[in-house]
Amino acid sequence: MKLNKKEVEAGKTAALVAYLTIVGCLIAITMNLEPKNNFARFHIRQAFGIHLTFHALAIFFNYANIPFAWVGLYVFYLILWGYGFWGAINGELKLIPAIGSYFQKWFTFIS
């Protein structure tokens, strides 16, 4: 999917806000209600998936009591977050490796 420069610039703020925290993601969803922007929508779905995955794994590791799993979780989170955030800064529609396509399918309610 190729977007024009004008659409990318119009949605960049919402896309970047989505990566800040899970609350930032919710704010970005409301920012993208009117007018809808495809660039922002793509990155909001990616960011929402990254944040949701992090929180789900954090809850799992909390109850599983796996030593040193937190280190891996934070490294995993920061790499995915950085990849998505860098793509938003550069105006690219690059899926998060391995799981980004699922985020786009699962979070179709984000429009």
Could you list the residue range(s) of the whole structural domain that residue 62 is in? 5-106
Buried b (16+ CB within 10 A) or exposed e, 16-44: bbbbeeeebbebbbebbeeeebbbbbbbb
Residue 7 confidence (pLDDT) above 90: no
Our count of domains for the chain comes to: 1
Domain assignment present for residue 42? The answer is yes
Domain assignment present for residue 32? The answer is yes
- Write down the pTM of the prediction: 0.89
- In DSSP notation, 37-48 reads -HHHHHHHHHHH
Residue 2 confidence (pLDDT) above 70: no
pLDDT tens, 18-75? 999 999 999 999 999 888 899 999 999 999 999 999 999 988 988 888 878 889 999 9
Domain assignment present for residue 111? The answer is no
